Structure 1
Amino acid sequence: MSDREIPWRARLAAAVLDVSPDWGASAASKALGAAARARLPRPLSRAFVSAYVRYFGVDLEDVDPRAMEDGYDSFNAFFTRRLRPGARPVDSRRDVLSAPCDGLLRGIAPIERDTAVVAKGHQYTLGELLADDALADSFLGGLATTIYLHPRDYHRVHTPCDGTAQRVIAVPGRLLPVTAAALERSPRLFALNERLIHVLDTPFGALVVVMIAAFGVGHMSCAYRHIEPHPREIQRVDCDPPARLRKGDELGVFHLGSTVVVLTQAGVRPLAPADEPTAVRMGQPLLQRGDVA
């Protein structure tokens, strides 16, 4: 993507962040996150949510109508909204991995030694993404699936299959915006941003779901294990005992933001189109065992 194709506001935001110190970008992001969580009078909240819905084209068909009628006590409460029961049917086949979230499927890339996963025309290594080279090596021969969440999307992330959560890793980072302009300036964007990494043991082998924060994310939360992110240190929390999860159970929540990367080991093949960006919904079939005709 050339500079000419990138909106001037996105280029300006990326330029400002490019010259700002890490603490400045992080402080601004945390402040925005705190503002999103601030309690608002219901009339003001309804007006704010209504404006957001119109601006981003949020589809409210799958939202519990009672919640919309009652209103939300903060913007974060709306952003992390749950959907009405049955709004996202989860593919029940045992040989299928379902989409962990709503969003735009940006690509499904094979993982080979010394090669990088491409995101928006730039590359990053799995070792950088996971902050763990040994863990990254265990996915050689597998697939890396990248899904971008738009501001209008449902922002809860779910497990693609049955399994147990063995470990959750919180990696601090500079919270840069996941925009074309930011990617132009920072090819290692996904390795710089804050990450919440879910390490699962499944019938498909080891599986990792990486939640990647964007600018404006006050925090991400883990649904099955409390973890307190540190601003400068990686937090590795073992689940003892491992948390048992059913396919479609919640893994975590974005409180504003961003992108999900699913890493699978060898033996699965794409079910969704991988040659061009495709809209996906949580629960729909995404990958399948490769030995299935």
Structure 2
Amino acid sequence: MIKVYNRRTKGYEVENVAGGKFLNALYGTVPGKMGLELLVKRKFYSYVSGVFCDSRKSAGLIKKFINSYNIDVSECQDEVGSFQTFNEFFIRKMKPHMRPYDNEPGKLLSPGDGRMYAWKDIEINKLVQVKGISYSLRDLLRDDSLASRYEGGILVILRLCPLDYHRFHFIDGGTCSKTVKIKGHYYSVNPAALRQVARLYCQNKREYSVFKSDNFGDVLYIEVGATSVGSIIQTYIPDQRVLRGDEKGYFKFGGSTLIMLLEKGAANIDDEILEQTEAGFETRVLAGEVIGSKK
């Protein structure tokens, strides 16, 4: 059972986990772990899943998915009937007013929908995966020089579930570098997997880029692939100026994770999110929601 903090109600909600029993068996039993290592973590499994979700045969899953996870389709920019494949629905766009990005320069905003952990004054060699398991930013990036720039800074981890809006955005105006891609496995990013697989983010497929923002310095974006994520799609143009709230990219089908790092002194994170992180709970946030402020 995964409990997530709701900022609006000041209470906790139990997450409706897609394939929860399957994930628990996969990561928590001996036969499941054998299947995980032999098949599920590998590219072929996620590739086949992605191909199906891009086919017209997958369209029949859309209504069932909406009903199972109580998705509010009134937020969608397009009518549900216009989607010809499951992935077309999965990467749906929102009506602009549903995910507004405030232009006030001092506000630090969430890059997407999901469940958020955040830490300040980080040690780059001891980033928290879950309690008792850590990893190194150097291992994650494979770039010691870049990693060292974020010592003492802020780490934000945004976990996207299959039922979430899967497009992610720029938190400020500025320019973004070319994406660096690192090959890897396709472990789930569900907490059940994070508790069982050491250095999971460092083992999975991932991409990163440096966003030179107007108000928060050089922000490091890292997108992590996961089981059944057919692709991480970057839609921005490198080194071309973007505005706050402009789309950076999207994940195709599957749960995914967006990691964001800010340099020391760039911002303050909302105390409520920090407190919930310290207590071991993720905080539910939406794209454009205020998560902190300029220091």
Normalised-by-shorter TM-score class = 0.7 to 0.9
Percent identical among aligned pairs is 27
Q: Where does structure 2 lack aligned partners over 5 or more consecutive residues?
A: 2-16, 28-32, 277-281
Give the Cα separation in 1 of the matches to 2:186 and 2:219: 25
Instruction: Report if the CA contact (8 A) 2:92-2:165 is conserved.
Output: yes
State the shift of 1:17 in Å. 4.6
**Aligned with residue 117 of structure 1, among 89, 110, 127:** 127
**Aligned with residue 13 of structure 1, among 26, 30, 53:** 26
1:139-167 superposed Cα distances (whole Å, 9 cap, x missing partner): 11210001111111100010111110123
Give the Cα separation in 2 of the matches to 1:269 and 1:263: 12
Instruction: Report if the CA contact (8 A) 1:10-1:180 is conserved.
Output: no
Partner of 1:156: 167
- Is 1:62 aligned to 2:60, yes or no? no
Give the Cα separation in 2 of the matches to 1:150 and 1:8: 15
Instruction: Report if the CA contact (8 A) 1:59-1:152 is conserved.
Output: no
Q: Where does structure 1 lack aligned partners over 5 or more consecutive residues?
A: 226-238
State the shift of 1:73 in Å. 0.9
- Is 1:33 aligned to 2:50, yes or no? yes
Paired residues, number: 263
TM-score, normalized by length of structure 1?
0.83
Spell out the pairing of 1:132-171 with structure 2 (5 A cutoff): 132-171=143-182
Taking only aligned residues, the RMSD between alpha carbons, in angstroms, comes to 2.1
Give the Cα separation in 2 of the matches to 1:12 and 1:160: 37
Give the Cα separation in 1 of the matches to 2:100 and 2:124: 36
Task: Look up the SS of the partner of 2:228 in the other structure.
Answer: coil
Structure 1 runs (4+) greater than 6 angstroms displaced = none
Partner of 1:49: 62
**Aligned with residue 232 of structure 2, among 200, 214, 220:** 220
Instruction: Report if the CA contact (8 A) 1:28-1:216 is conserved.
Output: yes
Spell out the pairing of 1:59-98 with structure 2 (5 A cutoff): 59-64=72-77, 66-68=78-80, 70-98=81-109
Give the Cα separation in 2 of the matches to 1:163 and 1:17: 44
- Give the AA of the match of 1:178: V
- Is 1:255 aligned to 2:252, yes or no? yes
State the shift of 1:108 in Å. 2.8
